[in-house]
Amino acid sequence: MADDAPSCPECRQPLKSGGLVLVKRDDDGRRACRSLWRCADLHTWWRWADRPEEPLEVCPVPQVFR
């Protein structure tokens, strides 16, 4: 089975899934899940779970997920 985990955009290390976070999306006002990702250097990223083609974004509150 292929590993579908993305690489960290900052350090290129493999990212490990940190689960899902339910948040309100600004562009359409709907609640949706963001998939949370973290590398060994503790860079924390997320993206919309229902929009996997979109790039990873820096998580604005990484301390919440430590």
Percent of the chain with pLDDT over 70: 95
pLDDT number for residue 57: 96
Model confidence at 3, pLDDT cuts 50, 70, 90, reads low
Supply the DSSP string of 5-55, one letter for each residue: PPBPTTT-PBPEEEEEEEEE-TTT--EEEEEEEE-TT--EEEEETT-TTSP
Cα distance between residue 44 and residue 26, in whole Å? 20
d(CA 61, CA 38): 12
Whole-number percent of the chain with pLDDT over 90: 80
pTM of the model: 0.84
Cα distance between residue 63 and residue 29, in whole Å: 25
